[in-house]
Structure formats: structure tokens, C-alpha cells
């Protein structure tokens, strides 16, 4: 076989890499749904490697540190009728992909800053996705206050992170400014809602997408990259 043919055959075996930054908030139900849909899409996409990282975005950065009563906050922000309609759609969408949204046991809308800090710390140990999954599950399914540092420490412990250090770091503000600056960098891009997906730093997709939509998109990107 000619050398060029051998090289071409070898190159054909190299998977394409797609980098995805997912801008999300830990109290956003569509972000949780979007995470599951993206994971399903990745599992059903062949010959592509993915580098997926989750980035911080607080839907309400003015939220008091101790959070607020969820029912009053949501109804004041969206209106009672809208809450019932959207809530029903979220619960139905969640059931389709294995998420149980138990809104009846969620008493508080928390400040999400420290949950984003925990996700960043978990990323250093290559446990970012697991941390986010546990935070989502704790809040939406178990009704746990993820703005409570004691609850975040429990999550860190379950993830086998250095929870003693995390307990100390949560009482400090050493990295808060970095989180805030990163979040504002996304707002400067015009991002105002989540989930938002930045693909290969040159494509922005807003809103939760189905796994089928993701798979079709990934295959198009794969074709484009393969053809140079």
C-alpha cells in the first residue's frame, strides 16, 4: 500500500473533537433537562470525542445569601398561572428522560453562587459532571437547599472530594470574583438565559435541545471538519 494511502487510512480513524461550554445555573430545570439530553446525544454519536465543561451563570445574582421562599418568589416573578403551566411542562419533559421534578417539596429558591464554586472545585478533580448531577438531583428531586453550605459539604463528601478543605473555602471569598467575572464575560456575549451552548468557540445555541437535535448538529460538524 502506498504511503499516502496508509496515512489517509490512519487519519480516517482519528475521531473529531467537539468542545462544548454549557452555560447553566443550578436552579434552572431546563439546564438539568438539557444536561440529560446532551449526555444522551453524546452516547448516540459515533466517531466524535467531546470536551464538555459547565460554566457558571446566576439567573438572579441579586438573590440574598440565604435564599427566599420559592413559591412567593416564583409567583411574584412569573405569575401564578404561568408557573402552573410551565411547571407542568417541565415535569412532563423531565419524566421522558428520567428526571423527577418534585416541586412540592422545594421550599426555597437558593442563592447559587456557592454551588457554582463547588462545581469549579470538582472540575479540578475531573468530577465536574458528577458534582453538577448531584446538585441538580439534590435540589429538584430531593428538595435540598443547595444554597446551604452544610448541604454542599455533604455533596462534596459523597463525591470523595476534600470536603474539609471545601468547608474552609466556602467561608472565604478567594475565588468569588473569578466566578463573577466569568459569568459577566458570558453576559457580555449577549447571553441572558440558560442553558446556552458554546460549540467550538464559534457557535452559540440557546435553550434546551433534544438529543436528536444535538446528534444531527454533531454529525454536521463532523462532516464539515472531516472535509477540511
Calculate the average pLDDT of the chain.
93
Question: What pLDDT sits at residue 180?
Answer: 95
Question: What pLDDT sits at residue 9?
Answer: 43
Cβ–Cβ under 8 Å, residues 22 and 54 = yes
Question: What pLDDT sits at residue 165?
Answer: 96
DSSP string across the chain:
--HHHHHHHHHHTSPEEEEEEEEE-TT-HHHHHHHHHHHHHHHT--SEEEEEEEEE--S-TT--TT-EEHHHHHHHHH-HHHHHHHHHHHHHHHHHTT----GGG--EE---HHHHHHHHHHHHTT-HHHHHHHHHHHHHTT---TTSHHHHHHHHHHTT--HHHHHHHHT--TTHHHHHHHHHHHHHTT--SS-EEEETTTEEEES---HHHHHHHHHHHHHHHHT-
- Matching CATH number, 17-51+63-226, of 3.40.1440.60, 3.40.50.2300, 3.90.550.10, 3.40.30.10: 3.40.30.10
Mean local confidence (pLDDT), 20-33: 98
Whether the full predicted model's pTM is greater than 0.85, yes or no, is yes
All structural domains of the chain with their residue ranges:
17-51+63-226
Instruction: Assign 14 a pLDDT band (cuts: 50, 70, 90).
Output: low
Question: What pLDDT sits at residue 6?
Answer: 43
Interval 215-224: pLDDT, tens: 999 999 999 9
**Over 70: is that where the pLDDT of 2 sits?**
no
**Over 50: is that where the pLDDT of 96 sits?**
yes
Question: What pLDDT sits at residue 1?
Answer: 47
Interval 144-170: pLDDT, tens: 999 999 999 999 999 999 999 999 999
Amino acid at each position: 500500500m502506498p504511503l499516502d494511502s496508509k496515512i489517509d487510512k490512519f487519519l480516517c480513524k482519528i475521531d473529531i473533537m467537539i468542545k462544548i461550554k454549557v452555560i447553566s445555573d443550578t436552579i434552572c430545570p431546563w439546564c438539568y433537562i438539557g444536561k440529560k439530553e446532551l449526555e444522551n446525544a453524546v452516547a448516540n454519536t459515533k466517531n466524535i470525542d467531546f470536551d464538555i465543561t459547565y460554566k457558571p451563570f446566576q439567573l438572579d445574582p441579586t438573590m440574598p445569601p440565604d435564599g427566599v421562599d420559592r413559591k412567593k418568589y416564583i409567583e411574584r416573578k412569573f405569575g401564578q398561572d404561568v408557573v402552573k403551566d410551565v411547571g407542568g411542562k417541565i415535569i412532563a419533559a423531565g419524566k421522558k428522560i428520567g428526571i423527577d421534578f418534585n416541586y412540592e417539596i422545594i421550599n426555597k429558591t437558593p442563592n447559587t453562587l456557592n454551588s457554582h464554586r463547588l462545581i469549579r472545585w470538582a472540575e479540578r478533580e475531573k468530577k465536574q459532571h458528577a458534582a453538577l448531577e448531584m446538585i441538580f438531583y439534590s435540589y429538584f428531586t430531593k428538595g435540598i437547599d443547595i444554597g446551604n453550605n452544610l448541604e454542599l459539604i455533604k455533596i462534596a463528601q459523597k463525591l470523595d472530594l476534600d470536603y474539609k478543605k471545601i468547608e474552609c473555602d466556602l467561608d472565604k471569598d478567594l475565588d468569588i470574583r473569578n466566578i463573577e467575572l466569568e459569568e459577566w464575560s458570558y453576559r457580555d456575549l449577549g447571553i441572558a438565559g440558560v442553558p446556552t451552548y458554546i460549540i467550538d468557540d464559534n457557535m452559540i445555541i440557546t435553550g434546551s435541545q433534544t438529543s436528536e437535535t444535538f446528534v444531527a448538529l454533531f454529525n454536521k460538524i463532523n462532516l464539515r471538519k472531516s472535509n477540511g
